[in-house]
């Protein structure tokens, strides 16, 4: 059993274990033979916790792996039924946390919502690191409650351009100030103050979110370098994460 499977039943104690970061390893499978340039479509990806513990995010419909000249092996999602999710929650959404990912959209996103990282509640996700069709911008979204059609929501957005090139997204939450902030390519957007925090008790998801009780907001494109922290990154740390997430081309 994965070390993180217990998170589904004991979030309150499990979060203490996640002191630093959760880093997505590419790929999840055993190292391929030397002659294999790209791994076969996988059913899971692996995470490290604090640099040493390992856990699995299952991809029910599999994912495709492609070799990017900068980011190395990255997953490619079809925006429909391809996504990955952990066995339980990784983030205490009522406390400090940060999430990040490199994203490359396949299509101009106008009219679509596409989520890179989220964490499921029953009806909504506890946060959405995404492109927002409503704002027509990169966004870090918070819903007022785990209900159908929440109304009094908050969003930190960025005026950085939305393109089909690789883009680094970071969303942070500080419990003391109740502020969410989105960073795009290291540049902070406008912070927003949320209402009463609530805990999303479902799995962390990669490549989709949850809305009105159903999976949605599927991302059509590529994702690399997902990381999760149980603290609020400082602006200079966001830049360090952005700069450290790539390999020499």
Whether the Cβ atoms of residue 80 and residue 218 lie closer than 8 Å to each other: yes
* Tens of each residue's pLDDT in the chain, 249 residues: 433 333 333 444 333 333 344 444 444 343 444 333 344 455 776 654 543 456 677 999 988 989 999 888 889 999 999 999 999 998 999 999 999 999 999 987 778 899 999 999 999 999 999 999 999 999 999 999 999 999 999 999 999 999 999 999 999 999 999 999 999 999 999 999 999 999 999 999 999 999 999 999 999 999 988 889 989 999 999 999 899 865 433
**Dihedrals phi, psi of 230, to nearest 5 degrees:** -100, 40
Neighbours of 123 (CB within 10 A): 17
Straight-line distance from the first to the last Cα atom of the chain, in angstroms, rounded to the nearest whole number: 37
Neighbours of 147 (CB within 10 A): 15
**Domain map (residue ranges) of the chain:** 5-244
How does strand 204-206 pair with strand 84-86?
Answer: antiparallel
Tokens of 8: 């589904």
pLDDT at 246: 59
State the fold for domain 5-244.
Answer: Jelly Rolls (2.60.120)
217 contact partners, CB below 8 Å, separation of at least 6? 113, 114, 115, 118, 128, 130, 208, 209, 211
246 contact partners, CB below 8 Å, separation of at least 6? 70, 71, 102
pLDDT at 210: 97
User: Three-state DSSP class for 177?
Assistant: coil
Is the N-terminal amide bond of 27 cis, ω within 30° of 0?
yes
pLDDT at 43: 74
Tokens of 70: 């900068």
What's the angle, vertex CA 234, arms to CA 46 and CA 138, rounded to 5?
70
């Amino acid at each position: 059993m994965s070390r993180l499977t217990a998170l589904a039943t004991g979030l309150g104690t499990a979060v203490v274990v996640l002191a630093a970061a959760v880093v997505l390893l590419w790929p999840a499978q055993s190292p391929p033979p030397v002659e294999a340039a790209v791994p076969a479509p996988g059913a899971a990806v692996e995470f490290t916790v604090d640099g040493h513990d390992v856990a699995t995010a299952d991809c029910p419909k599999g994912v495709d792996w492609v070799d990017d000249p900068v980011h190395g092996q990255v997953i490619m999602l079809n925006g429909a039924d391809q996504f990955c999710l952990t066995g339980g929650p990784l983030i205490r959404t009522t406390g400090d946390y940060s999430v990040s990912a490199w994203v490359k959209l396949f299509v101009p996103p106008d009219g679509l919502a596409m989520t890179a990282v989220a964490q499921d509640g029953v009806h909504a996700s506890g946060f959405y690191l995404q492109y927002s069709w409503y704002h027509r911008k990169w966004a870090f979204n918070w819903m007022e409650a785990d209900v159908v059609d929440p109304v009094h929501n908050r969003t930190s957005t960025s005026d950085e351009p939305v393109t089909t090139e690789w883009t680094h997204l970071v969303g942070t939450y500080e419990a003391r100030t109740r502020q969410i902030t989105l960073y795009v390519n290291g540049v902070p957007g406008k912070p927003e103050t949320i209402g009463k925090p609530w805990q999303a008790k479902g799995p962390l998801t990669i490549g989709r979110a949850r809305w009105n009780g159903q999976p949605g907001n599927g991302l059509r494109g590529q994702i690399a370098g997902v990381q999760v922290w149980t603290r609020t990154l400082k602006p200079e740390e966001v830049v360090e994460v952005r700069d450290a997430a790539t390999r020499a081309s």
